[in-house]
Copies of this chain bind each other. A is one copy, B any other.
């Protein structure tokens, strides 16, 4: 593996292809915010604005400004989105809608807690970039709302009738990442307690050593549930969480935590890999039962990009050669199928065979986030590796 060449490849793809794609195609100069529904050529095919994707793009450009270079264009782009979010993204009390229309009229209620987590992440990064305390206050207010809803994230939009109550992996997993993003804004003791709880949930509750698997849902008292949701696996989700945990392990100087996360990630990528066509499945069932998710066998961009980050960090932090091999294998698959002939932003959705299934660069669930974040992360880790 030629580390220098790889580093240049990831860096150049980020700075010369992907970031320019979003800068040229996504800004709504008339009404503010970003278009995320962009077709193969970058043309807008729908103008609805999904709050979590708006927030993710704010975070991305603020982070590029904070960590790569203080380019005015990047900060302007982040603030362009932040203004729209402040004016139209919430109900006046930092309850963040799921979506609004092009002009900013609310479309879908603040039912989804991930609109909040990514708003917190966006304003946290932007408070650093713009050196603006008001943004920090918004991030904190939103973070408090997330923590208040932590034990009942679906809030009044919960349709469960009481006969079964499961808890879901996504929120503690996102909080592992969000905590580090909020570090400069939150009381250290409080933050440490939050982080400890989340690490414990992810590593001791949702990871089941007897199965060697990270589950998406367990019962409220931390037991396995032999139900559709209780059998569900999302390998990409688990692998993404493992690099969040490795970052926390680094930050907290806990090498045993890094080692454990790296091993779990290896178990999940081996489990999730499609031996027949290559790529990592989107959803699986831990007992091999048929899935509710009709799209289970598709190959999604973020699954593969998060795996690249995770395997590279695993290799950098622990030297495990299996991480290097998996990085190489997923690198080859991803550049061939997701970057392929895309130009600019990558393709998002492939069928099981690896063919492009949706002719889009962005949509309701895909914005300016996983591709540039992964390119940035991989570039940074490769730079570390180069120095060794």
Contact = CB atoms under 8 A, between A and B. Distances in A.
Contact of A107 (B39, B109, B160, B289): B160
Interface residues of A, number: 44
Contact of A363 (B290, B357, B360, B363): B290
A157 to B, nearest CB: 6
Nearest to A100: B163
A292 interface: yes
Interface in A350-384: 351-352, 357-360, 363-365
A360 B290 contact: yes
Interface stretch (A15-23, A66-74, A248-256, A294-302): A294-302
A159 B157 CA distance: 8
A164 interface: yes
Interface string A299-328: 000000000000000000000000000000
B107 A163 contact: yes
Contacts of A148: none
A52 to B, nearest CB: 15
Given A48-B228, A351-B352, A357-B297, A164 B109 contact: no
Contacts of A160: 107-109
A33 to B, nearest CB: 14
A161 interface: yes
Contacts of A287: 45
A101 interface: yes
A97 B100 CA distance: 31
A188 interface: no
Given A294-B349, A349-B294, A351-B352, A101 B289 contact: no
A2 interface: no
Interface string A159-194: 111111000000000000000000000000000000
A114 B220 CA distance: 30
A290 B45 contact: yes
A159 B294 contact: no
A35 B100 CA distance: 41
B46 A97 contact: no
B107 A363 contact: no
B48 A227 contact: yes
A364 B229 CA distance: 12
A333 interface: no
A273 interface: no
Contacts of A39: 289-290
A163 B351 contact: no
A163 B97 CA distance: 11
A111 interface: yes
A105 interface: yes
A128 interface: no
Given A164-B101, A294-B298, A351-B352, A46 B106 contact: no
Contact of A106 (B106, B108, B162, B292): B162
Given A227-B48, A357-B297, A161 B108 contact: yes
Chain B CB within 10 A, most for which of A111, A159, A363: A159
Interface of A: 37, 39, 45-46, 48, 97-98, 100-101, 105-109, 111, 157, 159-164, 227-228, 287, 289-292, 294-298, 349, 351-352, 357-360, 363-365
Return the 6 tightest CB-CB contacts between A and B, nearest first: A105-B163, A106-B161, A294-B295, A290-B360, A45-B289, A109-B159
20 contacts: A45-B287, A46-B227, A98-B159, A105-B164, A106-B162, A106-B163, A107-B160, A107-B163, A108-B159, A109-B161, A111-B159, A228-B364, A290-B358, A290-B359, A290-B360, A290-B363, A292-B364, A294-B294, A294-B349, A295-B295
